[in-house]
């Protein structure tokens, strides 16, 4: 059994030992790294991209925002939301 590790963004990765594992249900394999998997996130009418000025630098931060729940969301959270699975 593969010991997947989950990132805050919703992606998962497997330890680089032996051959790459099978793709977990609900994920796609990364085209550049066979040990990294991205959640399949469907379109959602409530999700949009927003931006704000970075508090620690002069750059801009882009993030996903859910208009329904009025919160920032990650791909993993959108994957788990029933409105995002269509």
pLDDT digits (tens, 9 = 90+) for 11-56: 899 999 899 999 988 889 999 999 999 888 777 888 888 888 877 7
* pLDDT range class, residue 86, cuts 50, 70, 90: very low
Q: Is the pTM of this model over 0.85?
A: no
Q: What is the DSSP string of 42-64?
A: ---TTEEEEEEE-SSSSSEEEEE
- Residue 72 to residue 56: CA distance in whole angstroms: 19
Q: Give the pLDDT confidence score for residue 32 in this predicted structure.
A: 94
């Amino acid at each position: 059994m593969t010991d997947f590790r989950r990132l805050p963004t919703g992606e998962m990765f497997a330890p680089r030992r032996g051959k790459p594992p099978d793709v977990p249900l609900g994920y796609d394999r990364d085209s550049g790294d066979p040990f990294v998997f991205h959640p399949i996130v469907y379109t959602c009418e409530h999700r949009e991209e927003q931006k704000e000025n970075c508090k620690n630098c002069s750059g801009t931060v882009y993030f996903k925002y859910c208009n329904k729940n009025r919160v920032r969301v990650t791909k993993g959270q959108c994957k788990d939301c029933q409105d995002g699975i269509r």
